Chain A
Amino acid sequence: MQDKYAIQMIGITKAFPGIIANDNIMLNVKENEIHALLGENGAGKSTLMSILFGAYSPDAGEIRIHGNAVRIKDPNVATSLGIGMVHQHFKLVHNYTVTQNIVLGREPRRGKGLFAPLKLDDARQKAKDLSDRYGLFIDPDAKIEDITVGQQQRVEILKTLYSDSDIIILDEPTAVLTPQEIDELMQIIRRLKQEGKTIILITHKLKEIKAVADRCSVLRRGKLIDTVDVAGVSENQLASLMVGRPVSFEIEKADKKSGAVMLSIKGLNVKDSTGVLRVKDLDLEVRSGEIMGVAGVDGNGQSNMLDAICGLCKVQSGTIELDGCDITSMPIKERIQKGLGFIPEDRQRYGLVNEFTIAENVILKDYDKSRYSKPLGVLNMDAAKAQADELIKQFDVRSAQGSATKAGSLSGGNQQKVIVAREISLSPKVLVVAQPTRGLDVGAIEYIRHRIVAERDKGRAVLLVSFELDEIMNLCDRIATISKGSIVSVDDAKSVTAHEIGLRMAGSKEASDEEK
């Protein structure tokens, strides 16, 4: 008996400037299976799926859907072939209802012509039926701005179902979800399979693959490494396939010897640029020699808190003290001199000057110090190059032309290494780290995490903000959970589970009270 294939991608090749994103890839997805596509960032997963969905055309190769060779020249063709895609960043209109969003672009009308009135009743009923059938629990009349991120994702799934897709691609669906929402999503994916759909799950999270997928194709540097039955492999085996060598995700670290409070935030209130209060009465303390993690779903005030600490935005009220010194309204320069190090989330925007060389970027924060000075206010570039060469060696930065390489031409991991090297070389008392490993490959992730732990062991206070709960659980000594702009709990990392943190991230105060 031969398996039927829903999708066959044969010899797909796609090149971009400077990179071969897909190199002769053979992908076979059976009908009615959950097929995971595993790979690091930049391995070519998204490119491959964009080709399948018609966003890119391949340089070479053939695509067959249910055995028929097809040419998918744009997403409309993909939709008509029954392929639906749930993007990582949702494409919903926020002040429209669920039903309005679902029909967007193919609105049913009474009569013909541009000004014919909409006819939404049938669509609304169909959305409701689909929602019930697949257990999505979506109110077709709710406005998108009123529902949670998890529900918004289900609206996206509903959209694909509404257009009668039988192949559904989910692109990194769990990146924005709490652990509980992830569990619900896994249920929904199983339900979709029961109802006869074929699912492709793009992810770099091994747990999820083990939880739901039947088979898994592993991509590495644009090549298909292997397709395996998930039941027969362990998470570690999958990880080694993905990275190409054995990896350990556990970080060994000595017991903490924390000391005095180095960073103290009291009653902090911060508004964003539109005047909405994003941080509300936030209290937080970080001691020397510890890593304090801030866990939370994206958009709960983390970035506003970081901006306030680093001086990028004004504080409404409250105080921020660094080693006993009030820095609440201090200029950024003085904060840095007081010993505040910052590894920003958006490294291209806040961390580096892309057009500058590594040497110039390394001295960005202390270029005016005497060691980089010559008479007449001249910058001593030789000293800068020497410092850059030293850091390149110490931090294993891979670059084409050493210290003269432009930062913009480095890979993401090496850019991050340059930033980490600069911040650590300034010997800060408090190191504020935001999403340090986002978008990096596993090798760089391991390295950066070890460096952060090493800073803690040197007795520095580290504040780590991350949306990856695994990273927080792994690295931190204490974990503060942020929800709707406030810290709802602070726990010792050893005495709390990811599940408990997840409940608090969702803002359920009861849950945390109940446990106490």
Chain B
Amino acid sequence: MKRNDLNRTSFIDWFLGNDGAISFAVVILGFIFGTIIVLLVGKNPINMYKSLLYSMIGRARSNGGWNFRYIGETLNYSIPFVLCGFAMAFAYRVGLFNVGGEGQYIMGMTAAQTVALLLPPFPGQWVVCLLAAIMAGAIWGGIVGLLKARFKVSEVVATIMLNYIALYLSRLICLQHPGATTYNTAALPATSKLAKFLIPSSNLNIGFFFMLAAVFIYWFVMEKTKAGFAFRATGYNQDAARCSGIPVVRSISVSMAVAGAFAGLAGALVLLGGAYPKGRIIVSMDNYGFNGMAVALVGNCRAIGTLLAGLLFGVMKQSQSLMQDMDIPKEITYIIQGLIVVFIALRAGLQLVREYRAKRIVASKVASV
């Protein structure tokens, strides 16, 4: 009995001290509330879970057979979520709040499209497109890093504003592209498109490997290298880092540029890996950059966590069409995503619970002495 009591206590403490477990619980909580909402509007939540499950395992709804295209689309959707997650996470670990993933994503997409349409087609053109996108994203993020490091401009305000500048700048540039109408351009050359693999019926393309490479690079740089050590020290305690001779100004500029590079790559992969044959002239934001912030927060800004959270968001996006087939409003996925973000913010509250428990344990020891 006594022993049981002890076990339960240590499980709760383990849970409260484990960011991964909390994230998992937060996602579950989001789905529980989502289920309640589905019930309240008089629909069958089983269908919601069916859609999600089918998106993950590739089961066809209609004939009871398999449809692996779902898996391909799920994985494909998760690419920009994960990459934009890193755009948030990389800056966050250095102590910055990058709200500019969206703008960096747009600039990456615009750069890739410009290279694809303005250069004459040549084999391997997509590589140049991706490099251009990474550069463009890095510059867009790096500007904010420089402003922050040199002039102490709030990175939150600067990135929000640059999101709008990116949107309209992208329109200005893309309207000059060959064959530009109000919403699209001439077809992108085949040499700039990304090759499909594994599941030809879906849009899954080699961009997926770039995403996996990004997961590894993020983990390696952040957790293993000396540069990552300096980044993390700066993020945790900028004053101590500065006092120890760590180049804080450089860390801030570089980290924003790297963050932007991830988002820029995401923009190119969405454009060049998509089913749409023509170039885009965007009229509104795709919101991958903003969703990336939620992805990073759910994933604790860790490599694997962000990957898993990105996959979850990918599943939800893919399941939207299945949901509509099964009489579930697809908006429920947005609601669940929103709920998850709200519950993530409760982490601060859990910290209080942790402190309260620590106090109670001490108090009970005092009483028993």
Contacts and interface: CB of A to CB of B under 8 A. Distances in A.
Interface of A: 13, 15-20, 23, 59, 310, 312, 331-337, 342, 344, 349-356, 360, 364-365, 367-368, 372-373, 376-379
Contact of B237 (A17, A59, A349): A349
Top 4 A-B pairs, shortest CB-CB distance: A333-B245, A17-B358, A17-B359, A350-B243
Contact of B236 (A15, A312, A353): A353
Interface stretch (B107-115, B174-182, B221-229): B221-229
A352 B244 CA distance: 9
Which label, helix, strand, loop or mixed, suits the secondary structure of the A interface?
Answer: mixed
**Interface residue tally on B, bucketed by range:** 20 to 34
Nearest to A334: B245
Given A337-B245, A350-B239, A379-B224, 8 more contacts: A16-B359, A16-B362, A17-B362, A20-B365, A312-B243, A334-B245, A364-B244, A377-B226
Given A351-B240, A377-B226, A379-B225, A17 B366 contact: no
Nearest to B369: A23
Interface in B210-234: 224-230, 232-233
Contact of A344 (B226, B243, B365): B243
Contacts of B362: 15-20
B147 interface: no
Q: Considering residues B237, B239, B242, B362, which has the most beta carbons from chain A within 10 angstroms of its beta carbon? A: B237
B230 A367 contact: yes
A349 B226 contact: no
Contacts of A367: 226, 229-230
Given A15-B359, A17-B358, A379-B226, A332 B366 contact: no
A44 to B, nearest CB: 13
Nearest to B221: A377
Contacts of B363: 15, 59
Contacts of A368: 226, 230
A2 to B, nearest CB: 32
Contacts of A335: 245
Contact of A17 (B224, B236, B239, B355): B355
B60 interface: no
B224 A350 contact: no
Contacts of B200: none
Contacts of B226: 367-368, 372-373, 377-379
A349 B236 contact: no
Contacts of A18: 358-359, 362
Contact of A365 (B224, B228, B245): B245
B131 interface: no
A312 B227 CA distance: 22
B124 interface: no
Given A17-B359, A377-B226, A312 B242 contact: yes
Contacts of B237: 349, 352-355
Contact of B233 (A20, A331, A353, A378): A353
A342 B245 CA distance: 11
23 contacts: A15-B362, A17-B355, A17-B362, A18-B358, A19-B362, A20-B362, A20-B365, A310-B243, A334-B245, A336-B245, A350-B240, A351-B240, A352-B237, A352-B240, A355-B237, A356-B232, A356-B236, A360-B229, A360-B233, A367-B230, A368-B230, A378-B224, A379-B229
B332 interface: no
Contacts of B227: 377
A429 B340 CA distance: 54
Contact of A377 (B225, B245, B358, B359): B225
A333 B227 CA distance: 15
Contacts of B359: 15-18
Contacts of B225: 376-379
B245 A353 contact: no
A167 to B, nearest CB: 28
A332 B249 CA distance: 12
Q: Considering residues A13, A23, A332, A336, which has the most beta carbons from chain B within 10 angstroms of its beta carbon? A: A332
B366 A23 contact: yes
B366 A349 contact: no
A23 B367 CA distance: 10
Interface in B241-258: 241-247
B240 A353 contact: yes
Contacts of B224: 378-379
Nearest to B363: A15
